[in-house]
A and B are shown apart, each in its own frame.
Chain A
Amino acid sequence: MLRNHRTFYWIFAGLAVAAAACWIFNLAYYREGQLEKPVFLTHYIETENDEGTLFDLYVLENLEEEQQIAQIRIPGLERAQIAVSSRSSYRNQELVKYTVQLAGESADDVRFTARSSDWPLVFKQIEVDYADGTRSTENIGEIHLYPRPSAEPVLTVPQSMSSNGQEGQSTLQAEEDLRITGVDTGFEVGLGSRLELYWGDEVGEWDFDQPLEEWGRGSLLGEAKFPMELKKGGTTKLGYRFLDQADDDWATVYRLMPRIRTESSDGTSRILSVFVDYAPYPDEQQIRRFIKERREES
């Protein structure tokens, strides 16, 4: 077919070398993008010890993970129900979300065994069982578990919403005439200027067709003036926005619990806790850089 039949062998050899080089490069690149084992993100979670309380834990693992996670447990909250609630797939990894639900028994266990001075209970590690029978203890950041307030709050949350997992707002409605005396923002480990809280004394119409940006956030919480009077049925709102600044900010997940202090007309003080959630939505490049950093650290 070719004038010089040996030409084919040279073409074939060249193609073989080129294809082998492409495979070697891509396999090296692929292996470089693999985690050595599943990695739990850093979490800062505040929540109340109440039946049905939910919070999420995230782990990044390889799609073709040799050491697959079978189940996880939180020592001290053994009877909490933990199950995979979603998986976000990337090219070679997936971000798995475990939802933890405090069952009646687990919450009661904690409530009755903890002394009042122990609160909040802090959980920093989880136990991980792998499908191959091995087990490990992993750091997950901090879960702060607070006691459920004994008195029913006089503020309720008729509506709350979040957008993109990084911003949202809660509408607060007074059940009686009251004064809001302030908002405690709890612990804000490593947040810096990453979280902005907003306070609005008027709530606009809820229009889900409009982006949250256009709803109006209100003023920054630091600029809000307390105490603030609220008549029965009156509403206000607490908004929040997480601003990712560093490239790896997504790897630190928050569920914070600002506490709104109220004072009834009879002088009784009560607290309403609302939740401020950050859910990670990294892109492919962020995942790759995160893995690269982890590999360099180890």
Chain B
Amino acid sequence: MKAAFGNMFWGMLIVLLDIRIGFDLLIDPVGYLLVAYGMSRIDKAIPLFRVGKWIAVLLAAVSIPAVFDPGTVGGGFQALFESRTVEAGSWSDIWLTSLLGDFALMLLIYLLCEGICRLAKQQGEAGLDQQMQGAWWLYFVSSAPMMILSPFLLNFDIPGLFAILLGVGFVGLIAFVQLLHGFRRAGRDLDEADPQHRLDIRI
């Protein structure tokens, strides 16, 4: 268990961090694949992760173009914003991958949080359950409005955009930090759970 949550921790950390030297040094596809690997190691115990690992693989594929060209696609709202400033990328490419990428990431984070919540409940780890719920809702409230708002950047000037970006960026960052801490805590507190024992909870 600990190793699997460790994979997820490092995978999501790689996704979160951007160190660009012409290209992203910590490339997102590697991060997503690491998450997928971690999920696959305990998908017997958490059946939700069977779906989740394929979503992580999908995200790895979707984020490949952004490794080489930050102005094109892969980062949803970020891609839209960057494309406007660097005048690169085709909108028709962006909207498809942005829509796909943003929704896939949201679904992945939901499955990660929900899966850990269920296991935590089963193991009587109420604190971890609360933490992962908090991480999910913070992520949801920071990204859902941007999913609706970002298409309008294509055509309209949104008043206070910088403040909105700053606000949702900060809330999103807290959500990610909470999620990462949750992986660490799950690795420590849920290590007793049997990875081969299936949780009797419907997907």
- Chain A residues close to B by CB (< 8 Å): 1, 5, 8, 12, 15-16, 18-20, 22-23, 25-27, 29-30, 33, 63-64, 91-92
Contacts and interface: CB of A to CB of B under 8 A. Distances in A.
A64 B107 CA distance: 33
Contacts of A25: 151
Contacts of A18: 147-148
Interface residues of B, number: 26
Given A1-B136, A19-B99, A26 B107 contact: no
Given A20-B99, A22-B148, A63 B87 contact: yes
Nearest to B91: A30
Given A27-B154, A63-B87, A16 B114 contact: no
Contact of A19 (B132, B136, B148): B148
A25 B110 CA distance: 28
A12 B140 CA distance: 10
B180 to A, nearest CB: 18
A91 B99 CA distance: 22
Sort A-B residue pairs by CB-CB distance and give the 7 closest, nearest first.
Answer: A26-B151, A22-B151, A19-B147, A23-B151, A26-B154, A1-B133, A23-B95
B68 interface: no
Interface of B: 87, 90-92, 95, 99, 102-103, 106-107, 110, 113-114, 117, 132-133, 136, 144, 147-148, 151-152, 154-155, 157, 202
Nearest to A2: B114
Contacts of A23: 95, 99, 151
Nearest to A29: B155
A25 B154 CA distance: 11
Nearest to B149: A22
Given A8-B110, A19-B99, A64-B91, A30 B154 contact: yes
Contacts of B103: 12, 15-16, 19
A1 B95 contact: no
A154 B72 CA distance: 61
Nearest to B203: A5
Most A-side CB within 10 Å, residue of B113, B133, B144, B155: B155
B73 to A, nearest CB: 14
